[in-house]
Amino acid sequence: MARFGLVLWDLVLSFMWVWASALVKLFVYGYLEIGHRPEAEILKISLGVLYMFFFAWLGEVTRGGSYNPLTVLSYAFSGNLDRFLFTSLGRIPAQVSRIFTLSGDFLMDFVRFNFVE
């Protein structure tokens, strides 16, 4: 059951990671309407650093949930065959499938309607 929870957290965190950058741009350019001034870039970078710390904290809270398949792959190589198969056939496909199915469609909608540059 713990393994299923880990795969589920990988799925959720990878979806959130893809959306984090788009939401920051939407907030800075759309809601605040700052434009492409230096203040906008400073705010965008500052929010980016904040959500990196937030995702590091989520990794601790979920006891190993990750949004990055490369860090999970290093975990697979450092263990036995069972850990390698679980990671390569469960965790990595969960992270990658969420990015390509839902996130791509939603992000294309934002680009199509000019919400995000």
Task: State the pLDDT at residue 103.
Answer: 53
The pair phi, psi for residue 114, each rounded to 5°, is 60, 35
- Rounded distance between C-alpha atoms, residue 117 and residue 113, angstroms: 10
State yes or no: pLDDT of 104 exceeds 60.
no
Q: Are 64 and 70 in contact (CB under 8 A)?
A: no
Would you list the domain boundaries of the chain? 2-112
Kindly provide the b/e burial profile for residues 26-58, where b requires at least 16 CB atoms within 10 angstroms of the residue's own CB. bebbeeeebeeeeebeebbeebeeebeeebeeb
Question: What is the pLDDT of the chain when averaged over all its residues?
Answer: 80
Q: Among the ranges 9-13, 19-23, 42-46, 100-104, which has the highest mean pLDDT value?
A: 42-46
CB 32 within 8 A of CB 25: no
